[in-house]
């Protein structure tokens, strides 16, 4: 008998045909480690398990007389406006597959091998989406919850659980922290607000992001939720040791991850490779013995599964007669085809309202030209740069709802921000800014690390140790007029290391002449070539010697008056990465206009009067500003023509004692200088 509290399902990608499979890149789940901890620390779970086993044996002996068990279901789609925000149609397709699988209505039962055809069970379990929610309101049984908890999902991602003795909760997410396709709890093992199934969006249904064979993952997880073990018993590693699942009509097996339908390794008999509780991707059936075990779980009062199908609960959840469901008020929501655009670019707005069918809508797109204000998909464009908010009113005969998404679209200027040269060391100001904009809609992003830098104490960092492998995390950089630069060169400092030899994280520098419509790679390094430090598994924080300057030669033939740069990092399981001291220059009149010696501060430390002495090569147009260490500007000391040998005095007597920054800037080139107020 499998003594699991948690059961995790690791799946495999389908390559070509129905019976041709290869292992997915997902990690193994570590169920044994979970169980060791659970049974040491949760005696109630052990006790509930023993009680349920006793009840199951009694139920087998008494037999089952009920023909149909109806289970109310709610899907919680946890999303961040990505592909994990699956459609109602995909959920309903998953429900259709579940009902086919649990009632022997799936067409592929014809493929079941002869030894098991007569053992294939019609379980008599029907799943219905709830039409009344936990508060008595109208629902279609599918709710969409905006949250970054969809990434690296775990127990904390089980948001807004409905009562587990009234509904089967299914949480759909982008990815799961342990690398599984899905997992669940056996009856009586979970806290009520965690009882249910969490599963990847790509393993739900056969349409949209789903696939028919992967869709059986949900069938498998519900089998666990009904107290079924894997067919090979008490291990989450198939193919290792022959084992038993305590079901009389499933042969002893090691477990299978390939569809050798005549496979026999344990007792000289063909094993039930097509069972839904196997890991082979040719699932077709439950056995009659498994049916009896599941129905025992539905009749036991352990975890309240026996209340789900009661007449009173079916009435309370609106699943007693789904054909009479009320029309629900829609919950308005929408997405845009991009969050960045340039002046004049076309942007699509797509209605993603849920809970009720939308019969009418009104878009508020102030500042934009729109193809329509009432269609489910409209195209807009903007005449001026800026950050724009969009609203949608969606309704039907039951009522309407308004959704406002502030700062949804950033329209970028078609005029370059900087000419000739630019320096950014991230020592001053906030992030993101108009100069550096994260280009990823997820739970992780680049941020300012205020404790480490190459030339100062701040830099851009990306916490790659928490990232999703195979995902790109980009930063849109500034735009430049490089037409006057003879040889345009971009330099920056980078610090990165791997966690293991197999990490092939990639950093690229891309450029675009057409406002990001197309990008050209001008730099790229991967894995060990990108690394600037020795490999380590702990959190990487670079020392001064673990940085490297990179030089990117931009194409001198571009001659662009509006060149945008982009840093693009593709995660592959390595360690953190840092970027600092970005410098765009070339052979031009702006080069070396000033450096760390261009401004002297004295005395330093200082108490009342700070003196500034300029040592420039020539007079310049620029500014001198005073900042605190958080990047907050205290005041502008001077703006205009700065003489090459100017002397300036600044009263700082009213400042509190700490470190401050003086910034000298001209034509986009910045240099900072620190002093201490005592």
Residue 282 and residue 160 share a domain: yes
Residue 107 lies in a domain: yes
pLDDT at 285 over 90: yes
d(Cα 131, Cα 322) in Å, to the nearest integer?
Answer: 7
Structure token pair of residue 137: 């309101």
Phi, psi angles (nearest 5°) of residue 656: -75, 160
Q: How confident is the model at residue 590 (pLDDT cuts 50, 70, 90)?
A: very low
Question: Domain of 652: which CATH number?
Answer: 2.60.40.3080
Nearest to 574 by CA among 626, 492, 505: 505
Residue 268 and residue 129 share a domain: yes
Strand partners, 541: none
- Residue pLDDT, tens place only, 319-357: 998 777 789 999 999 999 988 898 999 999 999 999 999
Within 13 Å and on the Cβ side, how many CA atoms surround 571?
21
Residue 258 and residue 181 share a domain: yes
Residue 310 and residue 346 share a domain: no
pLDDT at 542 over 50: yes
Residue 1 lies in a domain: no
d(Cα 586, Cα 486) in Å, to the nearest integer?
Answer: 6
Residue 122 and residue 178 share a domain: yes
Q: How confident is the model at residue 432 (pLDDT cuts 50, 70, 90)?
A: confident
Tell me which of 303, 323, 343 is where a domain ends.
Answer: 323
- Residue pLDDT, tens place only, 211-253: 988 899 999 999 999 999 999 887 767 888 899 999 999 999 9
Question: Domain of 371: which CATH number?
Answer: 2.60.40.10
3-state secondary structure of 437: strand
- With tokens 């990434």, the residue in question is 151
Residue 501 and residue 570 share a domain: yes
DSSP state of 92: H
DSSP state of 592: T
Question: Domain of 149: which CATH number?
Answer: 3.40.390.10
Residue 205 and residue 94 share a domain: yes
d(Cα 353, Cα 343) in Å, to the nearest integer?
Answer: 28
Residue 353 and residue 455 share a domain: no
Within 13 Å and on the Cβ side, how many CA atoms surround 37?
5
Q: Residue 275's domain spans which residues?
A: 6-323
Please state the domain count of the chain. 4
Residue 388 lies in a domain: yes
Host H or E run for residue 308 = helix 305-308
Residue 328 lies in a domain: no
Structure token pair of residue 275: 């069972």
Residue 49 and residue 105 share a domain: yes
Distances (CA, A) of 160 to 91, 170, 237, 280: 18, 11, 33, 33
Active site residue ranges: 221
Neighbours of 405 (CB within 10 A): 17
Using DSSP bridges, classify how beta strands 69-79 and 168-173 pair: parallel, antiparallel or unpaired: parallel
Nearest to 340 by CA among 384, 387, 373, 376: 387
Using DSSP bridges, classify how beta strands 472-481 and 563-570 pair: parallel, antiparallel or unpaired: antiparallel
What's the rounded mean pLDDT across residues 447-466?
A: 92
Question: Domain of 546: which CATH number?
Answer: 2.60.120.200
Neighbours of 483 (CB within 10 A): 15
Question: Does the bond joining 346 to the residue before it have cis omega, within 30 degrees of 0?
Answer: no
Residue 636 and residue 578 share a domain: no
Residue 376 and residue 263 share a domain: no
User: What's the pTM?
Assistant: 0.80
pLDDT at 2 over 50: no
Q: Please, is 420 exposed, middle or buried when counting C-beta atoms within 10 Å of its C-beta (0-12, 13-18, 19+)?
A: buried
Percent of the chain with pLDDT over 90: 58
- Report pLDDT for 10: 34
Residue 592 lies in a domain: no
Residue 184 and residue 102 share a domain: yes
Neighbours of 275 (CB within 10 A): 32
Candidate from 153-162, 504-513, 597-606 with smallest mean pLDDT: 597-606
Residue 329 lies in a domain: no
């Amino acid at each position: 008998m499998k003594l699991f509290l948690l059961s995790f399902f690791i799946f495999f990608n389908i390559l070509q045909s129905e019976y041709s499979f290869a292992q997915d890149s997902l990690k193994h789940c570590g169920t044994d480690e979970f169980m060791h901890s659970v049974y040491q620390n949760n005696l109630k779970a052990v006790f509930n398990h023993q009680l349920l086993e006793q009840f199951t044996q009694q139920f087998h002996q008494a037999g089952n007389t009920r023909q149909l068990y109806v289970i109310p279901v709610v899907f919680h789609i946890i999303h961040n406006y990505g592909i994990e925000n699956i459609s109602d149609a995909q959920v309903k397709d998953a429900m259709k597959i579940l009902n086919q699988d649990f009632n022997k209505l799936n067409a592929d039962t014809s493929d079941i091998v002869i030894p098991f055809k007569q053992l294939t069970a019609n379980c008599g379990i029907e799943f219905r989406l709830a039409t009344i929610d936990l508060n008595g309101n109208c629902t279609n049984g599918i709710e969409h919850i905006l949250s970054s908890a969809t990434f690296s999902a775990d127990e904390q991602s089980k948001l807004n659980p409905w009562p587990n003795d009234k509904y089967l909760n299914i949480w759909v997410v982008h990815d799961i922290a342990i690398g599984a396709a899905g997992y669940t709890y056996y009856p009586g093992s979970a806290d009520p607000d965690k009882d249910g199934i969490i599963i990847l969006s790509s393993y739900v249904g056969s349409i949209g992001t789903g696939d028919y064979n992967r869709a059986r993952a949900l069938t498998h997880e519900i089998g666990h939720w009904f107290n079924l073990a894997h067919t090979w018993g008490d291990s989450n590693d198939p193919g290792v040791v022959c084992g038993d699942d305590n079901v009389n009509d499933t042969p002893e097996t090691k477990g299978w991850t390939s569809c050798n339908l005549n496979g026999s390794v344990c007792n000289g008999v063909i094993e039930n490779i097509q069972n839904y509780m196997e890991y082979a991707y040719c699932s077709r059936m439950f056995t009659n013995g498994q049916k009896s075990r599941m129905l025992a779980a539905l009749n036991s009062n352990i975890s309240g599964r026996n209340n789900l199908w009661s007449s009173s609960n079916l009435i309370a959840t609106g699943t007693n007669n789904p054909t009479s469901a009320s029309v629900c008020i829609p919950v308005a929501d929408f997405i845009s085809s991009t969050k960045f655009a340039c002046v004049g670019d076309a942007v699509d707005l797509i209605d993603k309202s849920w809970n009720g069918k939308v019969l009418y809508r009104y878009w508020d797109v102030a500042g934009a030209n729109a193809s329509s204000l009432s269609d489910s998909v409209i195209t807009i464009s903007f005449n001026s740069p800026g950050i724009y908010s969009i609203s949608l009113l969606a309704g039907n005969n039951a009522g309407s709802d308004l959704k406002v998404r502030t700062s949804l679209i950033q329209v970028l200027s078609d005029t370059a921000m900087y000419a000739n040269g630019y320096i950014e060391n991230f020592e001053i100001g906030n992030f993101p800014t108009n100069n550096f904009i994260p280009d990823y809609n997820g739970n992780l992003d680049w941020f300012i690390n205020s404790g480490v830098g190459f030339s100062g104490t701040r830099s851009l960092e990306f916490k790659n140790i928490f990232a999703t492998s195979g995902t790109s995390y980009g930063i849109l950089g500034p735009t430049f007029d490089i037409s006057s630069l003879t040889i345009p060169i971009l330099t920056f400092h980078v610090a990165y290391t791997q966690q293991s030899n197999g990490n092939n994280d990639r950093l690229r520098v891309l450029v675009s002449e057409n406002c990001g419509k197309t990008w050209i790679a001008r730099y790229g390094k991967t894995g060990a070539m990108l690394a600037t430090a020795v490999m380590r598994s702990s959190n990487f924080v670079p020392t001064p010697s673990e940085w490297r300057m990179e030089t990117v030669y931009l194409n001198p033939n571009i001659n662009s008056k509006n060149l945008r740069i982009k840093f693009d990092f593709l995660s592959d399981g390595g360690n953190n990465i840092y970027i600092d001291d970005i410098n765009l220059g070339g052979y031009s009149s702006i080069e070396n206009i000033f450096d760390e010696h261009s401004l002297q501060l004295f005395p330093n430390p200082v108490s009342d009067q700070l003196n500034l002495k300029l040592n420039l090569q020539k007079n310049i147009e620029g500014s001198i500003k005073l900042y605190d260490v958080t990047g907050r500007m205290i005041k502008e000391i001077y703006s205009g023509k700065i003489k090459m040998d100017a002397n300036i005095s600044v009263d700082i007597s009213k400042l509190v004692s700490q470190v401050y920054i003086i910034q000298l800037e001209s034509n986009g080139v910045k240099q900072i200088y620190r002093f201490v107020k005592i």
